[in-house]
Structure 1
Amino acid sequence: MLPDWAMDTLAILTQVFILLLGTGALLAIIFFIIDISQTRDAVRRNYPVVGRFRGLFTTLGEFFRQYFFAMDREELPFNRAERDWVYRSSKGEGGTIGFGSTKPLTPVGTAIFVNCPYPMLDDDGADAESMLIGPFARQPYDAPSFFNISGMSYGALSRPAVRALSRGAGKANIWLNTGEGGLSDAHLEGGCDIVFQIGTAKYGVRNPEGGLSDEKLKAVAGHERVRMFELKLSQGAKPGKGGILPAEKVTDEIAAIRGIPAHQASHSPNRHPEVGDNSELLDFVAHIRDISGKPVGIKFVVGAYGWIDELCEDIKARGIESAPDFFTIDSGDGGTGAAPMALMDNVGLPIRESLPMVADILRRHGLKDRIRIIASGKLLLPSSVAWALAAGADFIQCGRGFMFSLGCIQAMKCHKNTCPTGVTTHKKSLQRGLVPKDKAEKVATYANTLREHVEIIAHSCGVSEPRKLKPMHVRLVEANGRSKAMDRLNFIPPEELRKAGSLPEQH
C-alpha cells in the first residue's frame, strides 16, 4: 500500500487532471459556439474548433519546411546551401565541402565557368585593383573593393544592424550604401566609405515640401566619408513603387533623420517628381554633382530598355562629362523590407538578363569606360559575383548576403517589426540578440572570404584577378542541355533595340 504522502500527491494530481480536462472541455464548447456563430471564416463555421488548426498549421508550415522537409537546394528566395555558405564564411570556416556538389548543372541558364589547362598560380595572382568612379566630379572616388554592401535603410534595418554593417565595412575596406533612409551616426560609426542614396522622398536631404534641399545636400556631402550619391529611380523588388516604412518603424529618431512625422507610415513617391524624361534626369544628376562635388549615379531595375539607348544618345550629344558616373542595375528578384506582392513577383527583369544587356548598350555607344556598372540582386555567392564581373559589372552590391552574416534566418518578417534576430526590428527586446561588435567581425569575414573565392574562380579561368573575367570565360546551359559561350549570345537583337522597350508615350 502507498504511503500517505504518495496518496495525497496522487489525489492532488487527479484533481488537477480533472480541472484541466474540464477547462479544456469548457473552452472547446466556447470555441464551438463562437465558430459556428461567426460568418467571417467558412472553414471554422463548417468545422467548429477543428477548423482553427488550419491557421496554426499554415503558420507553422513554413518553419517545418525550412528545417525539416525542404531539400538543401529547394527553398526560395535563398536555399539552405546558399545560406549555410554565408554562415560558414562569416564565421571564418571557409567554403570547403566534401564528397560532391549538390548543385544541378542542367537547368537552362546555369553558368559554368571555363577553366583553362594552365591556371594562374595563386602566388602569381594579383589583388583586385581599385577603380576610379566619377572622373569629372570635383572629388572622384577611387573605390577599393569590387564587392560592397547594398542599400538597406536605417529604419528598415535596426540600429544595431547598421552599426555592425558600418564597423564591418570599415574592417573589410568596402563601401556601405545608406539606402534611401538618410544618413545617421550609426552609418558613420565604423569609419567606412559611404554611398548616400537619394530616394524619391529625398529622405535626409528633403525640404518641407518633399523636394531636394541643396543646403541639406551640401551638409551630407560635407562628411568626408560620404564618397558618392546614388539617385534611385527604381528598386528591383518594387519597380514603379516608392519605399514603404510601416508606422511602427518610424521612431522619433528615424523621423528626425528622414525629415518626416514620427509614428506615421511613410510612403515614397513612385518616381522623382523632378525627373520625367532623360533630359531632366541628366539635368538632375548634374545638379546633384555640382552641389555635392562628388560622383553621382542612378539606380534602376531594367524593364523597358529603349530609354537606356536614348539616354546614351543624349549623353553623347551633351558630352560624356554629362553622363551619370555609374549605373546601379538592380534585379527584378531583388529584396526589400516591404513591397506589394504584385510587383515583387511579376515586374522587372532579373539581373541575369539585364546586366549583359546594359553592358552591351554601353559598349555600343562607347560609354562602358565612362559609366561604371554596379550590379545588385541576389549576388551573394562567389559564383554569382564572378558571373556578374564576367558579364560586364565593375562592382557588385549585396544586401541579403550581409544580412545573413548578421544572423538573419530568412524568417521573412522584415515588414512586421518582429524579426527574431534583431536585424529588421526596432523592438529593444529583439535587438538585444544582435551585438554590433561581434557581428561586425562576421560582416568583414564574409566580405573577405567571398572576394578570396572569387579570386579562386578567376585563377582557375587563367586570369590574374576577378575583373579580368570576361564573357568568354562563362558558358550558359541552353534548352537542349548543351552550353554556349556567353560572348556568343545576343542579349539585345539589333532590330529590337529601337522598337522594343521604348518609353511610354507620355514621356
Structure 2
Amino acid sequence: MEWLPGFVASVVQIGALVFVCALGILLLLLAYIYVVDVTQKTHAIRRNYPIIGRFRYYFEHMGEFFRQYFFALDREELPFNRAQRSWIYRAAKNIDSTVAFGSTRPLNHPGDIIFLNCLFPTLRENFLPSGVVTIGDGYTRQPYTPNSIFNISGMSFGALSVPAITALSSGAKQAGIWLNTGEGGLSPFHLQGGCDLVFQIGTAKYGVQAADGSLDPDKLAKIAAHDSVKMFELKLSQGAKPGKGGILPGVKVTSLIASTRGIPEGQPSISPNGHPEVRSIEDLLEFLRKIREITGKPTGFKMVLGSWEWLDELGQCIHERGLEYAPDFITVDSADGGTGAAPQSLMDYMGLPIKRSLPMVVDKLSEYGLRERVKVICSGKMTNPGEVAWALCMGADFVVSARGFMFALGCIQAMQCNKNTCPTGVTTHNPELQKGLDPANKANRVANYAKNLLQEIEVIAHSCGVAQPRLLQRRHAQVINGDGVPVALNEIYPEVETRAIYLARDEDTAESA
C-alpha cells in the first residue's frame, strides 16, 4: 500500500490538469462567443448583452415545449401578446409564418373579427393589384398617389434613436411605403433612405415653429421643398394621450435632437396639449388651407375620436365654405394607440377604440358626401394582417402602424421607451445600447414585414372572393358580440347614404362648373 499516496497524488494532479484544461477551453469558448456576439449585426440583444443575451432565444424556443406548465399563454400578454409579436418577428425575418396544430384564438371572444371565406375563392389568374388612390387630387398643386395600403405611422426623432430612424427610412424605401416623421421634426436620418415622407406638425410645431411658438411659413416652405416630403399631417391628438401633448424626457434631448426640434438641450420637451390657432372647426379648416397653400401638398389632420358631435359641424362647415377647404385626409387613431410616455389616466381611460371610431368617421364622411374628397387613414394597434384587413372592410383607404415596425426593428416590448434604457437600441440614445441595432440589417426586416403583411392581406381578400384588398367590404367580415356569437359588420354598421341635400348641392356645383 506504499504506492497509494503516490497514486492519489497523481490522480489529483491529473484531475487538476483536466480541470484547468476544461476551464481554459470554456474560457476560450466564452471568449469566442463573446466576439461573435459583439460583432454580429443581426440580433441587438446579443450585441448589447453578449453571451447572456443568448438565453433569451433559448428560453423563447423552450417555451414552446413547456407552455403547458406556465400560465402566460399566447393571447394573454398585453399590450401585444406573444402570438401577435411572433408573427411580426417571423414576417420581418422573412421566415416561415405558418403554424401547426390549430389556432390559439378562442374564436368566441367579444370584439374578435372573423372573415367570411367564399365558396369559390379568387383564382391566381384573376388577382389584381391594389387600386390606385390619390390624395389631394384637384385640390393641391402636388397630389400624392401612395404605392402601398400599409405604411409607417408617426414615430418622432427623439422618441426613436438615430439607427432606428435610419433603418425605417431605408426599409420604407425598399418596401415602397411612406414614413411619417412624427412630431419631432425632419432629421437628416428621415431623408437618408430616400423614402416618401409625411411631415407631422405637432402642437409644439417642432422644426417649423417661430420664436413665439406659432407656425413659421418660411420654415414650413423649406420642409415642403424636399421632394421626398409628400404630405403634411396636423396632429390634434394621439390615441395614447388625447388632450396631452408629446412628452420627451430631458435625458433623451441630446444636442442633435435639440437642434432638430429647435429646443434647449437636456431639458424635458413637453408639447402644448393643443394648437392655440385651432379652437374651432372654422379655425381647423382655415389652418389646414394655410398649410396647403404654403406647401402645395396634401394636408390633413390626425385625431383620436372622443366626443363626435363635431363631425356634423365639420361636414356642414366644409359644404358652406367649399370642398377646397376640406382636409385631404383624416388619420383616425385608436384609444389603444402607443407612445413613448403618457399619463396612465389618459392611456387607460380616454378616447374611443378604433373599432368604434373608424366606422363612425367613415359613415359621417359618406353622410355628408365627402367620402371621395377626404381620404381616411386608420391608425392604432394595426400590426397584423387581420386588423389591417378589418380596417379596409370598414372603409379605410390606408392603414399605418408604429409599434408593428418597432417589433420589426427588434423591439421586445421591454416597456423602457420613456427611460432611455431600451435594451434593443430602438428608443434609447445611449450609444452603448444603440450599437446593437444595425440599420442595414433592420432595414431589410422593416421591408420584409411590410411586404409579408401586404401579402397576407391579399390572401384574406382572395379567400373572401375579391380580386384585391381594397374591394373588401363590411359584408366580408363578422365580429363576435357579447354572447360569443358572430354578427355581420354590415348589420352593425349598415352602409350610409349621402344626404339628399348634399347630393343636390354637388350636382349644382358640377353643372355650374
TM-score relative to the length of structure 2: 0.83
**Given the alignment, which residue of 285, 292, 308 partners 1:282?**
285
Match of 1:180 in 2: 183
| Structure 1 residues 442-457: aligned runs within 5 Å | 442-457=445-460
The offset of 1:3, in angstroms, is 5.3
Could you tell me which of 137, 143, 146 is aligned with 2:146? Answer: 143
1:35-57 deviation per Cα after TM superposition (whole angstroms, max 9, x unaligned): xxxxxxxxxxxxxxxxxxxxxxx
**Whole-Å separation in 2 of the counterparts to 1:94 and 1:347:** 38
Give the match for residue 213 of structure 2: 210
Counterparts of 1:304-383 in structure 2, within 5 Å, are 304-383=307-386
2:247 equivalent in structure 1: 244
In 2, Cα distance between equivalents of 1:79 and 1:184: 33
User: What secondary structure sits across from 2:114 in the alignment?
Assistant: strand
1:390 has 2:406 as partner: no
Moved more, 126-135 or 329-338: 126-135
Q: CA deviation at 1:321?
A: 1.4
Alignment-mate amino acid for residue 378 of structure 1: K
C-alpha separation between the residues in 1 aligned to 2:274 and 2:218? 22
Structure 2 distance, partners of 1:315, 1:99, is: 53
Residue 414 of structure 1 deviates from its aligned partner by 0.2
Of stretches 468-477 and 163-172 in structure 1, the one that deviates more from structure 2 is 468-477
- Of 261, 266, 280 in structure 1, the residue corresponding to residue 264 of structure 2 is 261
2:409 corresponds to which of 406, 409, 415: 406
Quote the Cα distance in structure 2 between the aligned partners of 1:298 and 1:157.
22
Q: Note the alpha carbon deviations across 1:345-399, whole angstroms, 9 max, x for none.
A: 1101011111011111111111111110000011110000000000110000000
Q: C-alpha distance in 1, partners of 2:265/2:200?
A: 21
User: Which residue is equivalent to 1:84?
Assistant: 86
Q: 1:467 & 1:192 partners in 2: Cα distance?
A: 23
2-side partners of 1:402 and 1:432: how far apart? 19
The one-character-per-residue Cα deviations of 1:287-318 (angstroms, maximum 9, x if unpaired) are: 00000000000000000011012111100111
Mean Cα displacement is larger for which, 305-314 or 419-428? 305-314
In 1: Cα distance, 2:87 partner to 2:493 partner: 33
> In structure 2, what is the Cα distance between the partners aligned to 1:186 and 1:480?
50
Instruction: Give the deviation of 1:323 after TM superposition.
Output: 0.4
Q: For residues 411 and 483 of structure 2, what CA distance do their matches in structure 1 show?
A: 38
1:337 match: secondary structure: coil
1:107 to 89, 106, 109: 109
Answer yes or no: is the 8 Å Cα contact 1:353–1:491 preserved in 2. no
Q: Secondary structure at the match of 2:221?
A: helix
Displaced runs of 4+ in structure 1, greater than 6 A? 4-7, 491-494
| Match 1:298 to one of 301, 321, 324 | 301
Deviation at 1:98, TM superposition (A): 1.3
Task: Give runs of aligned pairs for residues 65-76 of structure 1, distance below 5 A.
Answer: 69-76=71-78
2:157 to 151, 154, 159: 154
1:30-69 pair list within 5 angstroms: 69=71
Alignment RMSD, CA only? 2.1
Are the structure 2 counterparts of residues 454 and 492 from structure 1 closer, same or farther at C-alpha, using a change threshold of 3 Å? Answer: closer
Q: Does the residue aligned with 2:145 lie in a helix, a strand or coil?
A: strand
Cα drift, residue 488 of structure 1: 1.1
TM-score between both structures, scaled by the size of structure 1: 0.84
Deviation at 1:130, TM superposition (A): 2.8
Cα distance, 1:220 vs structure 2: 0.1
For residues 421-460 of structure 1, what are the structure 2 equivalents within 5 Å? 421-460=424-463
CA distance in 2, matches of 1:428, 1:236: 30
Change (3 A) 1:172 1:490: closer
Distance (whole Å) between structure 2 residues aligned to residue 354 and residue 160 of structure 1? 34
Contact 2:366/2:496 (8 A) holds in 1:
no
Consecutive unaligned residues in structure 1, runs of 5 or more:
11-62, 495-507
Q: Helix, strand or coil for the counterpart of 1:133?
A: coil
Q: Deviations over 1:325-353 (max 9, x none)?
A: 00000000000000010100110101111
Does residue 128 (structure 1) correspond to residue 139 (structure 2)? The answer is no
SS in 2 for 1:455: helix
Equivalent pairs counted in the alignment come to 440
Equivalent residue of 2:423, what SS?
coil
Give the SS at the match of 1:291.
Answer: helix
- Inter-CA distance 252–492: structure 2 relative to 1 (3 Å threshold): farther
Residue type matched to 2:218 in 1? E
Q: Structure 2 counterpart of 1:393, which letter?
A: A
1:419 to 2:422 alignment: yes
CA contact (8 A) 2:278 2:284 kept: yes
Residue 99 of structure 1 deviates from its aligned partner by 1.5
Unaligned segments of structure 2, at least 5 residues: 17-58, 64-69, 498-513
User: How far, CA to CA, are the matches of 1:372 and 1:94 in structure 2?
Assistant: 35
SS at match of 1:131: coil
Question: Does the 8 A contact of 1:163 with 1:189 survive in 2?
Answer: yes
